[in-house]
Structure 1
Amino acid sequence: MRKSDLHPSLRDSAVPVPGHSGCYAVVPPPVPTTLPVSPPLLPLAQREVQILSDAVEAAPDYAHLLMHMLNRREAVDSSQIEGTHTQFDELLLHEIEKGTPDAVSDSDAEQTLNYVRAYTLGVAQVRKHGQRALDGALICEMHRHLMSGNPRASPGQLRGVQNFIGGLKMEQARFIPPPPEEVPRLMTDLDRLIRHQPDPESHYDVSVLPRAAIVHAQFETIHPFVDGNGRIGRLLFPLMLLADGGHPIHLATFLKCRQREYYDALLDVQMKLHWSPWVDLFLECAIASCRHTVHLLRELRSVAERWQERLKTRGTRKHATVWSVVHLLLGQPVVTVSSLVERLNVTFPSANAAVATLVDLDILRPQGQQRRNRAFHAHEIMNLLYTGIDAVLDDVATLRNYRTGSWM
C-alpha cells in the first residue's frame, strides 16, 4: 500500500506506523449518514426483500427449518472466506456430536460452530431488545464467542496493536487500518449508523440495505479486532435486517462466489472512498440471496411432499417414528441414529428402524464405511442448498447492462 494511492483526504489523515518505514495507517472519515442519490439497484433489492418476507410469512414452518440450515451454510462459507476448510455436512455432524462420546476434536469445525454461536447470541439479543441491542458491547460479546479458544485473538476485546490486511508483513499489506488508539472513537461513530434513527426533518434517509453495506465497509476499514473482523462484519448483515423488522438475508455464500470482486470493492472504498462498486455488489448479492431463498422454500415444500408420498405408498403407520425423522431432516439433513434418539426422545431400535426405512426409500444415504454411529445424509436437501447459486448470481449481474449513473 502506497500513500500516493490514497484519496487526497486520506493522505492528509494517514498516520506513519512506528517501526515500519514508508507504512501509513489509514484513518477513515466519519461514515455518511445520508445519501444524496440512491443506488440504481436499491428499489429492486427492496422489492426482493419484500417478496422474501411474504414467502417466509406464508410458510413459517418451512422457513424455520430452512433458516436453521442457512445459518449454518452462512457459517461455513463466511469462515471459508477466511481460510477454514470445514464443509456444511462436517459442521452439522460436528454440532450433533458435540459433547457426546462420539465427538472428535476438530479445531476447524469448532471455529465454524463458534460462528453459529455468535450469530445465535446476536439474534437472541436483537429479538429481546430490538435495534438498540446492536451496540459495541454486543459486537464485542459476539467476537468473544467467535474467537473462543483462540487467546491470541484477544476474544471480545478491541485491538491494542496495529494490524494490516493482505501480505505476510506490514510492508506488503494491501491496506493498513487505523492505529489502535483511534479504534474506540471510530467504533462509536459507526455505532450511530448501525442503530440509525431516521431524521424526520431530513429529505433523505439511509434505508437498511445501503446502510448495512456502508457499515460493513467501514467496519472492515476500522478492523477493530486482532482477528475475526470479516466474520463479525458479515454477521452484522442479517442482524441489521432483523433489527429493522425484516427477515435475515444470508450473503456470505454469494460474496464467497465473488470473493475477488468483494475484496477489490472493499479496497476501493478504503483507499479511494469510492463506494459504488461495493454497494452495487452488496445489492446484487442481496437480490440473489432473496431469490435463492424463495426458491429454496418452494423446493423444500416439494421435497417434503415427495417424501410423505413415499411413506404413504409404503403404508407407514401414521405415528411411526419415521414421520418425525422425515420432518427433522428438512432442517437437519445430517443425522446419526444416536442423535435421533436424543433429539426425538425415542428408543435406539425405533430410531434405527426409521433410518433403515429411509435408506430403503433413498431419502437417506449412509456416509462413510464405519459401522458404529454412522452418519446419514438427506442428499436431496444437501444438494438444494448449493444448487443454482452461480446461476442466480449471473442472472442478477446482467442487470448491470441496464444501470445508469452512480452515487457517492
Structure 2
Amino acid sequence: MSLRSSAGESRAGGKGRTSAGAAPGGRLAVLDGVRVLAALGVLLYHYFALASAWGEPPRNIFPIANRFAVYGWLGVEIFFLVSGFVICMSAWGRGVGDFAVSRISRLFPAYWVAVVFTALVLFTWPEVREVKAFSHVVVNLSMLQGGLGVPNIDDAYWTLFVELKFYVLFALVVMRGVTYRNCVLFCAAWTLAGVVAPSADSGVLSFFAAGASSPYFIAGIAFYLMRRFGQNAVLWAVVGVQFLLAQHHVHARMISSLGRAATGQTPAWPAHLIIALGFVLMAAIALGSLDRVQWRWLQHAGALTYPLYLIHMLAGLTFIHHFRRDVAPVPLVIGVIAGMLLLAWLIHRFVERPLGRLLRDRLRRGMQDIRSATASGPSTGRFPAQPSAPEAERIPVSR
C-alpha cells in the first residue's frame, strides 16, 4: 500500500507538462489530498462503525456519523488506486535494486515503530485484542506474516501484504524496464490473472491475482500512463475494465468489512458511488485538471497518513474501550484522534525521515557493493580471494 507519502513519490510526470499544482520540488499536492481523505475515511470507519471499542453498536452512540462511517473502509481501495499511480511514477527509470531500496526504506521505519507501539498497548490492556505470543510480534516486524499464517498485530496491516504482492509483481516490469508498452502488458496480464484465478485450481495464481484489489492498482497505473503520455482509447479501456471489476467486488468487500448481517441492512449504492468518485478524481489528476490545487498544508498532512494508518486502529480502539466509562464519547474520540495525529507526526519527524534516510543510504551502498562485485568478477571484490591450499600453507601465521 503504498500508503507511504514521500516527496520522491508524488512528483508530477508528463509529456512536457508543467504542473501548476506541484510544490517547488515537483510534488503533486492533490495526491496528498486524496491520501488524507482516504486515511480519514478508514479512521472514521474503525472508530465509528466497529463495536469492539464501545461495547455496543456505534450507531446507538453516533447515529449520524455511523451512517457515513460504515463506508470508510473504501479508503483502502482509494489508497490502492493512488499506489498504482505512485509506484508506476516512482519506478520510472529505476533498476530493480533501486526500486527495492526505495520500497524498503519508505515502508519499514514507521512500520517497525507501529508494530512495537501497538504490541505494547495490547500487552498493557488486552481488552479489545490480546497478543497470543511474543513470536507473533517478531514475525510481524518482517511484514511477511500474511504469507506465514501468523496473525497481524493490527488488523489494518492486511493491506500491507497486498501492497507487497503488488511490488513483487511490478518488480518484474522494473527488471524488463518500465516502459509504456511493458506497463500496458503488465496491466493486461494481471487483469487476466484476476479473472481466471477464481475458477483455476492454482494456489499460486490465486495468491498473486488479488482479484478484489488488483483493479485499483491497475487503474492507477493506467492513470499515470495517461498523465505521462496522454490519454487514448487503450488506456481508457484498461480503466473501464478495472472500474467494472471493482464494482463487481463491492458486495464481497462489504461482507468482509461489515459482516453479512450488517451488509444486508446497509445500502450498497453509496459504496458504488464512492468508487466511481475515486476513479473520477484520479482521472482528473491524470488529465491535469486539478494541477492548480497547490495548498502547501496538504504536503504536511499527506506525510502523516502512513504512520497514522499504522498506529490508529487497535491501539485507538483499545484506548476508547479502556476509557469509555470515564470520558464522554465525543471528547473521548476527539482526544484519541488528536493523540494519534500527534504520535503520527512524531513518528514521521523523528523516525521516518532520519531512519528512512539512513536505511536508504546503507541499502544503496550494499547494492553498489553487489554491483561492483558482480562487474569485477568472483575474485576481485572487497576481500581478496582465498589462496589455494599449498599457498596457504606457506603463509606464516601471526601470533
The structure where helix makes up a greater share of residues is 2
